[in-house]
Amino acid sequence: MASLPVPAAAADVATPGVLGTSLPPDFRVIRNYYLGVPVIGFGARGRVERVPVIFLHGNNDTPFPTACNPLGYIHNAAQYLLDLGYRPSELWGLGYQGDQCDLAQEIARKSGVSHSTAAAVPLLREFVHAVLEYTGAPRVDIVAHSLGVTAAREWMLQDKAYGLVRSLVAIDGPNHGIIDCSPSPDNYFQLPADGGFVPNSAICEEYGSESTQLLTVLNAAGETPGPTHYPLSCDPKRVPGLARERRFRLAFRPRWAADCRAGAGPVWQSA
């Protein structure tokens, strides 16, 4: 199977199209038991020649825009690869937190158990194996943002699944914690109306500092254990002017590689 495309490969481009926002009808149904509904996502039936790519959004987001979440920018990254020649059957997205409509009932769920890494890992585990089964591929690439990064790393560590993931493109992962959990009275994220990111919330127990149980164990195993390749890990502080809505598309462009920590060079290089 071919690696992530280089610009010169643009000549081998399939007919341009618009990436879908649903999973195939005959794809395995994966149930999110915290929300009581099946996971959402995208993918398609068809021939697979490249390593399938799985896209993972961050916390409080979705794999594409929904009625309750206008963001879903990770879908733009998948569309970008479709435009470069990937087939819809090679591009998959997992919504491990639902469509975010449950937040209308209780906004503090943003920091709750249903949005935690502990809840995401079993869903990711089943989704990866379902994609492998559906496509017949022996391994996948993963493009992850924010919480999707550490969820992927935690699943790979728990299952020793590095042989199933050729490359992990990790964008803005909270590998050393987040600032949202500060107990300072100036931290508005701890207010219920802003997500309830208090120290004992599920998210803050995982990411409140770099020494939480989750991150201590996860990072003790190494941040880039092989044989998985880690082509890119963007730090937004080192990419001035990188607007959120453009971050995913730009993360795939070679000119940004110098502003990111690269495992073995720009993301355009073979994994």
Mind listing the domains of the chain with CATH numbers?
A: 22-259 (3.40.50)
Q: Which two structure tokens, joined as six digits, stand for 140?
A: 């996948």
pLDDT recorded at residue 172: 86
- pLDDT confidence of residue 5: 39
- Amino acid at the residue 88: P
- For the four alpha carbons of 173, 171, 125 and 3, in that order, the dihedral sign comes to negative
State residue 232's pLDDT score: 63
pLDDT at 243: 36
Task: Give strand pairing partners of 93.
Answer: 42, 55
Q: Show the tokens assigned to 223.
A: 């941040």
Predicted local confidence at residue 233, as pLDDT: 57
- The stretches in the chain having pLDDT less than 70 are 1-16, 232-271
pLDDT value of residue 4 = 41
Measured between alpha carbons, how far is 121 from 126 in angstroms, rounded to an integer?
Answer: 9
Phi-psi region of 26 (alpha: psi -120 to 50; beta: other; left: phi over 0): alpha
Give the residue carrying structure tokens 């435009």.
Answer: 83
Please give the C-alpha separations between residue 38 and each of 23, 50, 52, in angstroms, as whole numbers. 11, 27, 22
pLDDT at 259: 33
One-letter amino acid of 194: D
Place of tokens 């920091």: 111
pLDDT for 226 equals: 86
CA–CA dist 134, 52 (Å, integer): 11
Residue 32 has what pLDDT? 97
Tell me whether the omega of the peptide bond preceding residue 24 falls within 30 degrees of 0, making it cis: no
pLDDT value at residue 133: 98
**Which are the contacts of 52, defined by CB distance < 8 A and separation ≥ 6?**
89, 90, 91, 92, 131, 132, 135, 137, 140, 141
**What pLDDT does 231 receive?**
79
Q: What pLDDT score does 2 carry?
A: 44
